[in-house]
Structure formats: structure tokens, C-alpha cells
Structure 1
Amino acid sequence: MCGIIGVIDKQRELMDGSSIRDALSIMDERGSGEGAGYAAYGVYPDYADLYAIHVFYDNLVEPKAQVEDLLETWGMIEHDEEIPTFEQAGIPKIHTPWRYFFRPKTRLMQRSRTPDDEIVKHIVMEVNKSIKGALIFSSGKNIGVFKASGWPEEVADFYRVEKYEGYLWLAHNRYPTNTPGWWGGAHPFNLLNWSVVHNGEITSYGTNRRYIESFGYDCTMYTDTEVVAYLMDLLVRRHGLTQELAVRALAPPFWEEIERMPEDIQRLNTALRLTYGSAMMNGPFAIAVASPDSIVGFSDRIKLRPLVIGEHDNKVFISSEEAAIRTVDSAIKNIYMPKAGHPIVGRTVA
């Protein structure tokens, strides 16, 4: 179950959220009405050099004061406001979504190769672990995640996603299996510039969680998709792997496939498997990962969940269903299903 859809315009031409809303709604039968969400890149041009931190508050008194104290300890809040929402019959407003545009004090994390990112990552972990009644669910630059418990069209209308414009969109319709449907459990999951949507189940969650927590990430939402977002941050931002190599580490070829590879490629894949054995993900899954300059789609090594790719002009699509892609672009002709475990990457050129 679960439905995913993503699209990137390689020239960074902006698209409003209306077509991605319609595309996700086409896959209503893949969900249960207990979670849906959208991530958009390029939506905050007036604050593009600041971190856009989205928070769910249970109330606007104690947790809000604690979050703001933490933010002001590590940097400066340049602007904040309640995220506009619009009443929907199917979505009780049990949380208040708030956003901060935040500038870290780089000097406070001088020993890090990416001090600003490391400060924001620390804040996300600290809030989600320690401040009751607050949950940070989006924390990148010029990125917004908008999610809640509800059907795709309800969540889209709750946030009026058609009012936002981005050059990259990622969306998800959730069918909860191992965890209950709740606002924080809806996809996309985000950390810094990474946003992830996922269909399926990662049966290696326990091993993957223990591995990522050994590097200082706190998994507080008890979902396998949260771990994927953190693994991408670790492997690409902190360890310096390309996105293709990160996917190869997470969904590597079988040993018998590696043995048949040319010697130099065999050495590389052997090294990845040995180094990142505890990051390797098992189970049936299809995943799409977004970052400011790319969208990446990949499935498990025997493709137990559907993944469809579409390409037309400057756009690359990743989805669970061809019908969702055609809802956005009815003229598209180049549609195909990628090889199991093989990453498909769409990158911006501007």
C-alpha cells in the first residue's frame, strides 16, 4: 500500500501544488485517510538563506517557549508565524503548525565540517527527544513540509498547497501498518535538506536504527522512514558519498551479483557492503528521496513494491503508479520501471 509521487523540474521552473494534489488523490485507495503530506523545494524565496523550521505544537505556551529558548541559544529567529491552515471537516486541528526562519551561530559548532547543518540537526534531535508537546517535522533551507492525518486532498486543502510554488515536489498517501496514524507519522519525513517518502516496510529497522543512533541521531518517531532520512544525511552530508553510492549502500546487490562484476566495480561494491552492512535495508520497499538539487528513486533488491519513472522535457517523475504521473503530465511518453535496487536520479542543471 501507500502511494508516492515526486516531480523535479531540472531548470528549477516553479510549479504550484495543485497538480501534485490531484496526482496524489488519484492514489486514494493506497491510503487509509490517516496520513498524507507534501514537501516542496523553493517555496520560501524571501528567506532562502535561512533554515525554515516547521513545528507541530500541542499548545502555544510551555513547549513553544522552550523551543524558542533553544533556537535563541543556538542562533537567531529572523521571522516566525503560524503556518496558515484552513478548516477541513476530516482534519481535527489537534496540533498548531508553526514556522521559524532561523540563522544558526556558526561559531558555536566550529569543529564541524558543516556547522550550520550540525546545529540545526542538534536542535531537531533535542526538541523531538526532550520537549513534550513540540515536534519539528521540517528543517531545511527554502523547503517546506506540510502534512497531517487525513486524505491527500484534505491535507492539501488544509494547507492550501496550491498557493505554494516549488521546482521539486514530493508527496505521500499513507496506509499505516506498524505504527498508528498521527500527524508526525505522516510522510514526508525530513531532516535538513533531505525529504523522504516510502511505500513498504523495512524489516531491518532495528539494526538500522541502532546503527544510525551510534552516530548521534535520535529516532523518536519509531518509524522506518525516519531512519531513511537520517541515513541519507549521514552517508551523503557527513560521509561524503554521492547519492548513487548511498543508495548502493542502503540497497546493495546480492553477493552473487557482486562476484560477477568487473574487478574494480567488485572492489567498490564489496567495500560498501562491508563498511555499511548495518545500514543495509531489507524488506519490501519503494523510496523517493529529495534534496535541493535532485530527486532519487529506488526499490528493494527484488522489487516487492512498485516504482514507476517518467521523463518529459525538463521534468522527471517518480511514482507508485503511472496514472498519477499522467495526471500531472498527460502528454508524457517516456515511462518505465527501473531495475530493482537501481537508483534513478533527476538533477537540476540551473
Structure 2
Amino acid sequence: MCGIIGFIDRTKSRMDGSSIKVALSLMNERGSGDGAGYAAYGIYPEYADYYALHVFFDNLGESKKKVDELLEQWGIIVHQEEIPTTPQPGIKKVHTPWRYFFKPSEDLMAGKMASENDVVTYIVMEVNANVKGATIFSSGKNMGVFKASGWPEDVANFYRIEDYKGYIWLGHNRYPTNSPGWWGGAHPFNLLNWSVVHNGEITSYGTNQRYVEGYGYKCSLFTDTEVVAYLFDLLGRQHGLSYEMVVKALAPPFWDDIDRMPEKEAELNKAVRLTYGSALMNGPFAIVVGTENGIVGFTDRIKLRPLVVGENGNRLYISSEESAIRALDPEVKNVYTPRAGEPIIGRFIE
């Protein structure tokens, strides 16, 4: 039932968050006021080489001290501050949103972690699973997630979303079904530079959860969407698959369809299904993913949740509804609905 939207300017021309606030608010009938959020890429150019860690703290005492200590075990905090907010009548501020700009240290990593991304992934998993009163909800470079329990316009006003300028924007209006409405459960879900907004239900969550946990990920945020972010990180970053191949693994063709394919195409799809059977996602869903190189949109193999695409010059839009796209860009061209399981990919122009 949720409303989702994603936008990319392929030339990295940035726009502020005022338009996506309006677009997402047009889909309020898809939400319940229990959660909304935004992700924006390109918003921290002055700290572009550092990981921007956004954290919900229940208090700024013991839990923050533990996070500070963990970060200092692995690197340097170059700057930290409370994320600026403005009180809203529709939002009860139950957490303090905080941000760190963090750089892992090669000396501290030596012999322990293979890459900076591995360090940050470890920190996110450790804090979210084991530090009471702290949740890292955004951990990429030159990007950030802003979310809370509330309606889209209230969450946008709370975070002053119009003050940020990005070349990729994601938005989500939540209608929770099988999980509670809380700040950490609002979308987008993020790990490193992967951010996910999702409409629907991942009925294969148990299988998918066990699969990613076998690779060291910890699902601790009480919602099925969390596992989608970890699947993209595992297949896209650790296994090096293209976006097209990741989608083929997560939403593959049915066996009957594979049997009717040309031989080479059938062999590829069989290999993907056999290799990544535990990553296959069942259930009704439409998903948009933000990445460091662009955006990816796709649906389940039957398309039980809507997804609409629009293009205008260098800009690509993906949403639950055409009206939201036209609110972002009244001059949008080439509006269409993709096929079930078809990946819609927007990449930056080199």
C-alpha cells in the first residue's frame, strides 16, 4: 500500500528537496502517518570523502558514548553534530537524530578488515544489534537518509528537507502491515550507498534473512525491507554483480519462462536461479534502490504492486503513481509502466 518515488539527474545537476516533498505528499492515501522518509545523494560535497553516519539516539549519554568509542576504534571522526530539525505538531521527537562524518583508518584496519566499506558495515551491524538506544540508519558517502514516524510533509519539514540539494532523491510514505511503526522502521533503508524504498511484502523474508546472515549481516530493524538493502550490498558490492544481474537474482523469471528461452539465455538464468536461490524474493513488491552510480527500479515477477516510469531529458523518475512524477516535473515525457521483473536503471552520464 505504501507510496514510493525515485529520481535521478544523470548529469548530477542537483535539486532541492521541496519538489519531492510535494510529490510524496500526493500519495498520502498510500500511507498511514506511521512513517515517511527521504534519501538524497550529493548533499555533503564538503565531506564527500567521508562516511556520513546518521544515528538515532534515545539519549546523548551512555549510548552515544559507546558509538563514539566504537568509531574511534576503527578511525577518525572529522565532524559530528545533531542533525538540524524544526519541531512539528505531527511528530513526537522520541529520538535525537545525529550525524558523524567518519573516516576509517588504514592502520587500525590492517589485518582485520579488507576495505573501508567492510569496516563501516561492521560498525552498522554492531551498533544496531548490540548498542541499546542507538540505531545507525544511514551510512553512505555524500548522501543521507532522513526519516521519522509521521506524514511525508511533516517529516520533510522536520528535517528542513528543502535545505538539501541532491542529484538522486528517494521518498517513501509508509503503511506498515507486519511490522511496527517506529522511526527506524520508516523507509528508506540504507547500508553504505545502497538505499531502498519498498511497497509491498517480502514473503520470503525468513529465507532471505538466513541467507544474508550467513554472510555476517544482522537483521535487527523489524522489517522485511532491511534485507533488501543487505541483498543489494552482498550481490552488488561483495559479489560484483551488475544491477541487471542483481535484479535477475532477486526477481528471476519463472522456470516455465526459462524453458522457453534461447539456449544461452536459458543457461544463464538457470545458473543465476541455482546460485542465488536463497536470495530470490517472493511476494508482492515494487522497489526503488538508490546507489552511488544511479537508481534501480523493479517489481515482483507478477507485478502485484504498481510502478510507473517517466523520462525528461537527463532525468528519470520512478514512482507508484504518475501523478507524483508529474508533480516533480510537469513536462515529463515518455511515461510508461515496465513489465513485471524488468529492471529500470538510471546511470550517470560519464
TM-score > 0.5, shorter chain as reference: yes
Give 1:60 deviation, angstroms.
Answer: 0.3
Superposed CA offset, 1:246-299 (max 9, x none): 010000000011111111111111110000000000000000001021100000
Q: Does 1:259 align with 2:262?
A: no
Structure 2 distance, partners of 1:225, 1:203, is 11
Establish whether residue 141 from structure 1 lines up as the match of residue 119 from structure 2: no
Partner AA of 1:308 in structure 2: V
| Counterpart check, 1:40 vs 2:35 | no
Deviation string, structure 1 residues 276-325 (Cα, Å, up to 9, x no partner):
00000000000000102110000000000000001111000010000000
| Residue equivalent to 2:88 | 88
Structure 1 segments of 4+ aligned residues over 2 angstroms from their partners = 106-114
Partner of 1:177: 177
Q: TM-score scaled to structure 2, two decimals?
A: 0.99
Structure 1 residues 61-86: Cα deviation after superposition (integer angstroms, max 9, x where no partner): 00000000000000000000000000
Partner amino acid for 2:328? Answer: V
Tell me how far apart the structure 2 counterparts of residues 98 and 326 of structure 1 sit (CA, whole Å). Answer: 34
> What residue identity is the alignment partner of 1:342?
E
Name the counterpart of 1:307.
Answer: 307
> Partner of 1:145: helix, strand, or coil?
strand
Preserved CA contact (<8 Å) 1:109 1:118? no
CA contact (8 A) 2:310 2:336 kept: yes
Separation in 1, partners of 2:113, 2:312: 38
Partner of 2:329: 329
User: 1:24 & 1:257 partners in 2: Cα distance?
Assistant: 36
CA distance in 2, matches of 1:244, 1:114: 26
Structure 1: segments with no counterpart, 5+ residues: none
Partner of 1:349: 349
Cα deviation digits, residues 170-192 of structure 1 (max 9, x gap): 00000000011100000000000
Distance 1:59 1:241 in 2: 40
- Give the AA of the match of 2:121: K
Aligned residue for 2:13? 13
Q: Tell me, yes or no, if the aligned pair for 2:189 and 2:195 is still in contact at 8 Å.
A: yes
- Give the aligned partner of residue 275 of structure 2: 275
- Kept in 2, the 8 Å contact 1:147–1:155? The answer is yes
| Mapped contact 2:74–2:109 kept (Cα < 8 A) | no
TM-score w.r.t. structure 1 length? Answer: 0.99
* Deviation for aligned residue 1:333: 2.3
* CA RMSD between the two structures: 1.0
- CA separation in 2, counterparts of 1:207 and 1:110? 34
Q: Please say if residues 120 and 192 of structure 1, whose CA atoms lie closer than 8 Å, have aligned partners that are also in contact.
A: yes
Aligned residue for 1:303, secondary structure, equals coil
CA contact (8 A) 2:73 2:108 kept: no
Q: Corresponding residue for 1:27?
A: 27
CA displacement 1:179-221 (0-9 Å, x = unmatched): 1110000000000010000000010000000001000000001
Q: Which residue of 2 aligns with 1:65?
A: 65
Is residue 75–residue 104 contact of structure 2 (8 Å, CA) maintained in 1?
yes
SS state at 2:183 partner: coil
CA contact (8 A) 1:112 1:118 kept: no
SS in 2 for 1:184: helix
The offset of 1:107, in angstroms, is 4.0
Deviations 1:138-165 (A, max 9, x none): 0000011000000000000000100000
Pair 1:76-2:76 in alignment? yes
Kept in 1: contact 2:170–2:188 (CA 8 A): yes
Matched, 1:208 2:175: no
Aligned length: 350
Q: Give, in whole Å, the separation in 2 of the partners of 1:145 and 1:267.
A: 39
Q: Distance in 2 between matches of 1:107 and 1:265?
A: 46
AA in 2 matched with 1:168? I
CA distance in structure 1 between the partners assigned to 2:132 and 2:171 by the alignment: 27
Retained in 2: the 8 A contact 1:289–1:296? yes
Shift in Å, 1:111: 6.2
**How much has 1:2 moved relative to structure 2?**
0.3
Residue ranges of structure 2 left out of the alignment (5+ in a row): none
- Check 1:111–1:237 CA distance in 2 against 1; reply closer, same or farther (3 A cut): farther
Contact 2:35 2:150 in 1 (8 A): yes
Give, in whole Å, the separation in 2 of the partners of 1:245 and 1:136: 28
